[in-house]
Amino acid sequence: MQICRWRLGTVVKFVQTAAKKPGKRRIPAGFGLILVVEDDGILAMSIEQALLDGGAGEVVLCNSTEAALAFLRERKPDAIILDVHLADRDDGWAIAELLDDVGPNRPRIVFSTGAPQDIPEKIADLGPVLVKPYEPAELIEAIRGPQRRGLFSLLRRTGK
């Protein structure tokens, strides 16, 4: 484990090779670096372990919008797991909007929230929405699945 200090906030970088587990769904090759933006430390570590177990090569945890933006200025992850209601700013989707400006080669975004109804439709269009609490298998499937867009990705997950 390596703890990195960025300008604002703390980034915890875990680099670990997970043992392959037979029969488990795995993250596709090419998802070497995954950024998790989550302010709940225990949940962040749980997500990190699920991603490593699922085959991610490297997982970086950021606990604030500012730390995530600082990290994104330095590196480009293959995917981002993004809590949209962070303690430092209640608009985690600012990160998603920034990434959407990158264009078609932007990282895959998976949103994590306890209140999916609060996510603006434009933001829900950027990637699948997981409603907390969710199972690790749902997270892996959201990364593995096709890049879904549109309000239907939110409706499929919430069942409304």
- End-to-end, the C-alpha distance of the chain in Å comes to 41
**Whose structure tokens read 């372990």?**
49
**Which pLDDT does position 29 carry in this prediction?**
64
For residues 108-142, one letter each, b for 16 or more C-beta atoms within 10 angstroms of the residue's C-beta and e for the rest, the string is bbbbbbeebeebeeebbbbbbbbbeebebeebbbb
Residue 128 pLDDT > 70 = yes
**Which pLDDT does position 59 carry in this prediction?**
95
Q: Domain boundaries in the chain?
A: 2-158
Mean pLDDT, rounded, for 72-89: 86
Mean pLDDT, rounded, for 20-45: 78
Residue 155 pLDDT > 60 = no
Confidence grade of residue 86 (pLDDT, cut at 50, 70, 90): confident
Q: How far is CA 104 from the centre of its chain?
A: 18
**Which pLDDT does position 87 carry in this prediction?**
74
Mean pLDDT, rounded, for 90-108: 69
DSSP strand E in the chain: where? Answer: 2-5, 10-15, 33-37, 58-62, 79-83, 108-113, 129-131
Q: Name the average pLDDT for the chain.
A: 75
Residue with more model confidence, 61 or 100: 61
**Which pLDDT does position 63 carry in this prediction?**
92
Q: Which CATH number fits domain 2-158: 3.40.50.2300, 3.30.70.260, 3.40.50.620, 3.30.70.100?
A: 3.40.50.2300
**Which pLDDT does position 3 carry in this prediction?**
42
